[in-house]
Structure 1
Amino acid sequence: MNYLAHLLLSPPDTAYQVGNLLPDLVHLPEQERFTGRYREGIEMHRRIDAFTDAHPVTRRSRERLWPTYRRFSGIIIDIVYDHCLIRRWDAYHADPVPDFLASVRNGLPALQGDLPEKTYKHIHSITQWAGDYATLDGVSAAMARVGSRLRRPVDFSGLRSELERHHQGFLEDFDHFFPELLAMTGNASMEKPTCLTALAST
């Protein structure tokens, strides 16, 4: 799962939410210095990633991109699932995505002294652009940036058409997987099956 899902799968506590992002942003030795609610968020992040990586449905999603993008299918599906989460957002949270991200951003200044400056700026930035995954163009643009930063740049210009071709399949995979992830994290009460039933046809 990517940034937006990790934030959603946290209680409304900014230190916990930040902790749930840290394993993707700082190296393991640096993670170990965080305690309290940060530590709880870090541990939840690890549980989420382990559950997600081992789940047969997320494997099926990754296989939809084989063989062309097999090497990068994991990171692509992480971002695609944030896209799917935005498409299904009303089933899981009462506030619109921009308002939810703004609430996280508003809590960050109180934590600035606890975080490396680069990490703080990165998290602040995430709360500004994570909503861009609402569109497949946004997903494609994110992967284009990833490809351009690699030691050997990778051309993802053909990814958009692949995402479109499998879009319905990704949504169906997500609708199967995400309620199970919610249950694993103890957030099953967030589920609204009637909403999901209606959304599944879109």
Structure 2
Amino acid sequence: MNYLAHAYLSFGHPDILAGNMMSDFIKGNKKNNFPILIQQGIRLHRLIDQYTDEHPATLAAKQLFKPQVGLYAGSFMDVVYDYFLANDEQVFAAEQQLAHFSETVYTVLQQYESVFPEKFTPAFQHMRTHNWLLHYRNKQGIERTFEGLVHRAQYLQPPIALLPVLENNKAFFQEAYQQFFPDVIQFASKQLAILLNEL
């Protein structure tokens, strides 16, 4: 999952949110350098990613990206899921609710700046300055995110026009989101309960 979904699937728990959002910048056992609750957030992030990658809806939907981006298709599906989450009226009834949620996430994360992994610091600054979480709601924001992924990918050569893949297959991706997201909410909630009970 991408940033918005990981934030949402932290279920309002500050330490879990911090670990969940920083996880991609923390390799292997370096998670053990963090306070235990942040460690559990890192673990939750990794469990969610594995579940997402293996879910039948994701496996089917990412085939639409594979002709252009190959093994990176899963990363682009993560962004697609964030787009549909940002526009899910059952979660964020209007843009105002998403804007409030986004600002709350930034405010909470700011409190953990002293423990940010080095490379997460500039990422967070860009995230907040350009309000990534809110802008997943519109196609311009998704297009910029796609472009950023292509630019950072070691084996992709920009430019690659990927927004048309979303636009031309929107109904298919919407169905994938509707199949997947209730499942991942249930999964993440259960896993978080297990992780917290381990403490």
The AA in structure 2 aligned to 1:115 is F
* C-alpha spacing 1:109/1:86, structure 2 compared with 1 (3 Å): closer
* C-alpha spacing 1:16/1:163, structure 2 compared with 1 (3 Å): same
**Normalization by structure 2: what TM-score?**
0.82
Q: Residues 132 and 141 of structure 2 are in contact (CA less than 8 Å); yes or no, is this contact kept in structure 1?
A: no
Query: Could you say which residue in structure 1 is the equivalent of 2:167?
Result: 164
* C-alpha spacing 1:111/1:149, structure 2 compared with 1 (3 Å): closer
SS in 2 for 1:91: coil
* C-alpha spacing 1:56/1:75, structure 2 compared with 1 (3 Å): same
Query: Could you say which residue in structure 2 is the equivalent of 1:200?
Result: none
Instruction: Tell me the CA shift for residue 152 of structure 1.
Output: 5.4
Alpha-carbon separation, structure 2, partners of 1:62 and 1:152:
18
Give structure 1 stretches of 5+ with no counterpart: 188-202
Alpha-carbon separation, structure 2, partners of 1:116 and 1:71:
26
The AA in structure 2 aligned to 1:102 is E
How does 1:32-181 map onto structure 2 within 5 Å? 32-88=32-88, 90-93=89-92, 96-127=97-128, 128-151=131-154, 154-181=157-184
The AA in structure 1 aligned to 2:12 is P
**Bigger mean CA deviation after superposition, 13-22 or 144-153:** 144-153
Instruction: List per-residue Cα deviations over 1:80-103 (Å, max 9, x = no partner).
Output: 110011111x31257711111111
Query: Could you say which residue in structure 1 is the equivalent of 2:12?
Result: 12
Give structure 2 stretches of 5+ with no counterpart: 191-199
Instruction: Tell me the CA shift for residue 20 of structure 1.
Output: 0.6
* C-alpha spacing 1:147/1:64, structure 2 compared with 1 (3 Å): closer
SS in 2 for 1:104: helix
Query: Could you say which residue in structure 1 is the equivalent of 2:196?
Result: none
Q: Residues 108 and 124 of structure 1 are in contact (CA less than 8 Å); yes or no, is this contact kept in structure 2?
A: no
Instruction: Tell me the CA shift for residue 179 of structure 1.
Output: 0.3
Query: Aligned residues, how many?
Result: 186
* C-alpha spacing 1:74/1:172, structure 2 compared with 1 (3 Å): same
Alpha-carbon separation, structure 1, partners of 2:17 and 2:37:
9
Q: Percent identity?
A: 26
SS in 1 for 2:68: coil
The AA in structure 2 aligned to 1:145 is G
Instruction: Tell me the CA shift for residue 124 of structure 1.
Output: 4.3
Query: Could you say which residue in structure 1 is the equivalent of 2:22?
Result: 22
Larger relative contact order (C-alpha < 8 A, sep ≥ 6)? 2
**Bigger mean CA deviation after superposition, 57-66 or 175-184:** 57-66
Instruction: Tell me the CA shift for residue 105 of structure 1.
Output: 1.6
Cα RMSD between the aligned structures?
Answer: 2.2
Alpha-carbon separation, structure 2, partners of 1:125 and 1:14:
20
**Normalization by structure 1: what TM-score?**
0.81
Alpha-carbon separation, structure 1, partners of 2:136 and 2:68:
22
Instruction: Tell me the CA shift for residue 22 of structure 1.
Output: 2.1
Query: Could you say which residue in structure 2 is the equivalent of 1:197?
Result: none
Query: Could you say which residue in structure 2 is the equivalent of 1:193?
Result: none
Alpha-carbon separation, structure 2, partners of 1:100 and 1:23:
20
